[in-house]
Amino acid sequence: MLLLRRCCSLTRCGPISTRRLKVAPAVTSCAARFCSSGSEDQSSYQCANWKHILAGLLAGTGAVLVYSQHRHKAERADVSVTITEKGSLLPVFSQDEVTKHRSLEDGVWVTYKGGVYDITEFVAMHPGGNKILLAAGGALEPFWALYAVHDQEHVLEILSEYKVGELCEEDLKKQQASKPSDPFSSDPERHPVLQVNTLKPFNAEPPPEILSDSYITPSAFFFKRNHLPVPQLDQASYRLQVEGLPQGVLSLSLEDLKTKFPKHTVTVTLQCAGNRRGDMNKVKPVKGLNWGVAAIGNAKWSGARLRDVLLAAGFEPGVAQWARHVQFEGLDKDVTGTSYGASIPLNKAIGEEGDVLLAYEMNGEDIPRDHGYPVRVVVPGVVGARNVKWLGKIVVSAEESSSHWQQQDYKGFAPGTDWNQVDFESAPAIQELPVQSAITVPADGAVIHHSDETLTVAGYAWSGGGREVIRVDVSLDGGKTWQVAQLRSGDKGQAPEPSPPPGRAWAWKLWEITAPLPPEAEELEIICKAVDSSYNVQPDTVPPIWNLRGLLSNAWHRVTVRLRRD
Amino acid sequence: MLLLRRCCSLTRCGPISTRRLKVAPAVTSCAARFCSSGSEDQSSYQCANWKHILAGLLAGTGAVLVYSQHRHKAERADVSVTITEKGSLLPVFSQDEVTKHRSLEDGVWVTYKGGVYDITEFVAMHPGGNKILLAAGGALEPFWALYAVHDQEHVLEILSEYKVGELCEEDLKKQQASKPSDPFSSDPERHPVLQVNTLKPFNAEPPPEILSDSYITPSAFFFKRNHLPVPQLDQASYRLQVEGLPQGVLSLSLEDLKTKFPKHTVTVTLQCAGNRRGDMNKVKPVKGLNWGVAAIGNAKWSGARLRDVLLAAGFEPGVAQWARHVQFEGLDKDVTGTSYGASIPLNKAIGEEGDVLLAYEMNGEDIPRDHGYPVRVVVPGVVGARNVKWLGKIVVSAEESSSHWQQQDYKGFAPGTDWNQVDFESAPAIQELPVQSAITVPADGAVIHHSDETLTVAGYAWSGGGREVIRVDVSLDGGKTWQVAQLRSGDKGQAPEPSPPPGRAWAWKLWEITAPLPPEAEELEIICKAVDSSYNVQPDTVPPIWNLRGLLSNAWHRVTVRLRRD
């Protein structure tokens, strides 16, 4: 039964890539042969033959062969088997045997809690892309400790389908003895008000109503979006490398950044590409952290301009002849030593109006560890993912960052594109974000008393690319009629921030509207939608912008409140 | 009855402006008094008193007073009256008397076909804004000859409500004798395939299917959007003035532009702010030309860079300390000598990546007269209205253009904003346009035969601000499912245009999809929607973006086709 499911899955995922397409007929016929080969004499198959058969077939066929073979062998041949919890018989492998399967050609095997899994087939379907190959031949545990998104029942269910054997007891004990210490053990303390999405790495957002209470989001309440453990960095030994320019490498200390370049302060809203993913999950499940509306915040960032640093490192107009991108590498690393990385277009990095900062202060203080201490890039108007924290290296390059997060993540796709079809090369890396707004008050499901007579609705609105929010429309009747909200660029009773020059509106606007409660209503569907200076608007509904990673969720925000008379 | 309507209208339009709000109670009470004053002795009112009463009241009250007064007078007093076509009695005025009413304070009177109209009240409601004051004290005819949008039945209906008298016969004859020659008589010939919206000024678009047949739109088929008559300009005597810079005025001949500055060629899509206004008109009538989907075109423009010309005229970084805008004035003029005008932000004009041209060629030839011969501004990524044709003057300034089209038109408002509430100062002038796409083939209502088996859908997609279109989704089932269309940046079988640098994608993409006809369907609702490089998308539906001027109409484009079996 499981085999049949695997066969179906194989056929279904045929068109994953050109190379895989070519082998699809072979796979199908092999699978069919094994499905119907129960009466054939399988005794000639020996354990030692497996590798040869695997080597003779391309990725994806291995799993089917291995699995069907060990079913037959378990019944007839003299191989070492064990009885699993579910009572099925599975072969036992040594760690050495597992370690031989570290590529699509040789098969991709991993271990997890003493089980051996051939995940060759799954590599192309992995939401995290080829990164999964880092675990090939070894244990999944240290990776899953890093990427806690795997700690979900459906992930274990998927894994279970790929089980091909058990790890021999001796090697399992060794593995358990060498269990690494928790890589997140030195993460900083966080404020308990934060709503945690994952603890390791730490991903959390504040309660939405906090956002509209303060034009500048206090650092403690600013959403945290970490991909890896927070590195322990020392101000004195910190060095930033600037590479790729004709003059060679420039190495800067924190002191250099603070003293050799003018200090600029820019108020910038940062938003996670996955903000409001929860709305997409309601339409159809997506892969990613289930953010609410508060994976966004507005802070005053201070530091050196990236432009100034690049000029000091030798950037001159001739560089623009061949360079196209500026890459950033974080000092946060996974177990293999791979850093978080991203890049932005060169013209954004070097432009006088790009306002890209190498920031060492957030809201007037040293940047907190969760936000990139001692230095992070702040790329105004651009998705959070490119605002690399714990910045270690800047590379001027003809190429985009090759990092997983630039190439295999943080891209948008059509609603019809699923994990079997998705081609990450077909979409550009998200840079500027689209226009966004959300209601922070009242909360969805809130109960309002008719005695209040009026209702105040508040929220935030922001757009990427420096496009200023020029209007927010609010409806209390599910979109039938609209009122224009009051916008503000500062706290109530305080002077607003000065108007930004055109195309450089990096900060959000808070908005509010107070309206009479409709006397007869029992329920209100409240909606907000923003318009930016390019007159782009938010789409009405979620399904037409749904995408498999749940990114760019910027449909009208809707909350429903109930009205009570008692 | 008519008076009552006027009273209601007065009360309704109270909040037009602060100044008007202040007089609203007085207006209402005056109106009420006159509404109920039928039994009062009115014989003391003399013709000569009118002016005094008018002078004692602010704008808006005049209309009610004058109107109610002449009704009473007509019944009782010894004044010159005439019987109108509808049988009502109206006083007769001399042109001299009419000429005295040229301001909101003195009342705004106009004549039209021998009638005298007090339009003081209407000024604030005029879709064309204060421009209407140009006609004050004189005849409407020469203006309406220029602005043919007035040639509509509902405009005459509105005017009729403001009638206060007749022009005396002698002055009417003088007016008719001095009737100006047709200011559009020297407009160029146009291709008969164009679908004409108004002849004078000429506004026309090609049949949509022509657009997707050619990546570069031939000039003859490029939509024409003229606000005034096409001026007759001579290449030899043409001069362009550049003003507002510390060095003083720079005057350039066409030869100067062609020889003193490098020639640049940029492929730029221009779109009218009112493109697809027809879709908004279907929701609720809007004011403006009823454009279909083809008020957009893509051409190769060649000329000098505005940046280079501004630098030659003395622009230096210090100018950016006080200057914010670059204004353009056309050489097309209305009867009062007022030119078409517009402005763009300084950073767009002077930026190295703005690519703003003073173009003297369109598609490799002299710019045709309808498109701005001999020189027009081409502002890539920005609404057509700022791409001033027949360019006569460039002014570097701290202020936006004060022209009607910059201040009182080409702005977007919320769907709930009507002509009684609209405050043009509350919205920014449209510059960058939002993401757009439309289906050009098949036409709405087309009949497709099932024997065709497949259906090809084609169209264009573009976004403002240099944001590249990265995807077009097409649905054949009213939005339930979506397919990704093929995009192209050139004609079929030809090499595509080179990829633009980030943020400088000024040209549209054509797109196409061929899909099997659903065997059971009798009708298909075909939809397209585009995504640009900032991942902005088009809104689902028209009503939430409806606005009183019908601008920025970029909801999903939908066409319905019928499928036939015979």
Answer whether residue A88 shows pLDDT above 90. no
Q: C-alpha angle A526/A532/A537, rounded to 5°?
A: 55
Which tokens belong to A220? Answer: 């403690």
Which residues on neighbouring strands pair with residue B526, listed in sequence order? Answer: B559
Residue pair A539/B537 in contact (Cβ under 8 Å)? The answer is yes
Domains of chain B: 92-177 (3.10.120.10), 195-408 (3.90.420.10), 435-564 (2.60.40.650)
Residue pair A513/A457 in contact (Cβ under 8 Å)? The answer is yes
Cα–Cα dist A442/B382, whole Å: 38
pTM of the model: 0.78
State which H helix or E strand residue A528 sits in.
strand A523-532
Answer whether residue A284 shows pLDDT above 90. yes
User: Nearest to residue A235, comparing CAs of A101, A114, A369?
Assistant: A369
pLDDT in tens, A509-523: 999 999 999 888 999
- Which has the minimum average pLDDT: A138-147, B90-99, B102-111, B220-229? A138-147
Answer whether residue A49 shows pLDDT above 60. no
User: Nearest to residue B544, comparing CAs of A474, A511, A544, A532?
Assistant: A474
The one catalytic residue among B7, B410, B549, B558: B410
Percent of chain A with pLDDT over 90: 71
Cβ–Cβ gap B471/A427 under 8 Å: yes
Cα–Cα dist A477/A455, whole Å: 13
Q: Estimate the crossing angle of helix A61-76 against helix A2-12, to 10 degrees.
A: 170
Which tokens belong to B293? Answer: 């989907």
Cα–Cα dist B533/B472, whole Å: 12
Which residues of A are less than 8 Å from B417 in CB distance? 484
**Complex ipTM more than 0.85, yes or no:** no
pLDDT in tens, B126-138: 877 777 888 889 8
Distance from the B220 Cα atom to the nearest Cα atom in chain A, whole angstroms: 29
CA-derived radius of gyration, chain B: 27
Cβ–Cβ gap A431/B534 under 8 Å: yes
A126 annotated active-site = yes
In this prediction, residue B144 carries a pLDDT of 80
Residue B555 C-alpha from the chain's centroid: 20
Query: Longest Cα pair distance anywhere in chain B, in angstroms?
Result: 86
The one catalytic residue among A162, A215, A340, A410: A410
Residue pair B539/B545 in contact (Cβ under 8 Å)? The answer is yes
In this prediction, residue B87 carries a pLDDT of 54
Cβ–Cβ gap B484/A416 under 8 Å: yes
Cα–Cα dist B37/A2, whole Å: 94
Residue of B326, B480, B537 to mutate when probing chain A, most A C-beta within 10 A: B537
- Which has the minimum average pLDDT: A47-61, B163-177, B232-246? A47-61
In this prediction, residue B42 carries a pLDDT of 32
Cα–Cα dist B304/B361, whole Å: 10
In this prediction, residue A152 carries a pLDDT of 80
User: A163-167 and A115-118: which strand pairing?
Assistant: antiparallel
Which residues of A are less than 8 Å from B469 in CB distance? none
How high does pLDDT run on average in chain A? 85
The stretch B227-256 carries a mean pLDDT of 96
Residue A386, C-beta contacts closer than 8 angstroms, at least 6 positions apart: A328, A342, A343, A344, A377, A379, A431
The stretch B282-292 carries a mean pLDDT of 94
In this prediction, residue A53 carries a pLDDT of 31
The stretch A351-379 carries a mean pLDDT of 97
In this prediction, residue B146 carries a pLDDT of 64
Answer whether residue B13 shows pLDDT above 70. no
Residue B546, C-beta contacts closer than 8 angstroms, at least 6 positions apart: B280, B283, B284, B286, B415
Residue pair A464/A432 in contact (Cβ under 8 Å)? The answer is yes
User: A239-243 and A224-225: which strand pairing?
Assistant: unpaired
B434, B483, B529 member nearest A534 (Cβ): B434
User: Nearest to residue A388, comparing CAs of A332, A434, A337, A465?
Assistant: A332
Cβ–Cβ gap A434/B534 under 8 Å: yes
Cβ–Cβ gap A537/B545 under 8 Å: yes
> Residue B296 burial by CB count (10 A; 0-12/13-18/19+): exposed, middle or buried?
buried
The structure tokens 């007073």 sit at B65
Answer whether residue B439 shows pLDDT above 90. yes
Answer whether residue B363 shows pLDDT above 50. yes
A225 annotated active-site = yes
How would residue A174 be classed by pLDDT, with cut points 50, 70 and 90?
Answer: confident
Cβ–Cβ gap A534/B432 under 8 Å: yes
Between positions 501 and 540 of B, the ones with CB within 8 A of A are 501-503, 529, 531, 533-540
Nearest CA in chain B to A435: B536
B428, B433, B536 member nearest A434 (Cβ): B536
In this prediction, residue A302 carries a pLDDT of 98
Between positions 328 and 367 of B, the ones with CB within 8 A of A are 345, 347-348, 351, 353
> Residue A225 burial by CB count (10 A; 0-12/13-18/19+): exposed, middle or buried?
buried
How would residue A135 be classed by pLDDT, with cut points 50, 70 and 90?
Answer: confident
In this prediction, residue B50 carries a pLDDT of 34
How would residue A81 be classed by pLDDT, with cut points 50, 70 and 90?
Answer: low
Answer whether residue A431 shows pLDDT above 60. yes
Which tokens belong to B375? Answer: 């020189």
Query: Longest Cα pair distance anywhere in chain A, in angstroms?
Result: 86
3-state secondary structure B407-455: HCCCECCCCCCCCCCCCHHHCCECCECCCEEEEEECCCCCEEEHHHCEE
How high does pLDDT run on average in chain B? 85
Integer angstrom CA distances of residue B9 from B28, B50, B117, B158, B420: 11, 22, 17, 12, 9
Between positions 135 and 174 of B, the ones with CB within 8 A of A are none
Cα–Cα dist A60/A123, whole Å: 9
Nearest CA in chain A to B543: A480
DSSP A297-343: EEEEEEEEEHHHHHHHTT--GGGGGT--EEEEEEEEE-TTSPEEEEE
One-letter amino acid at B43 equals S
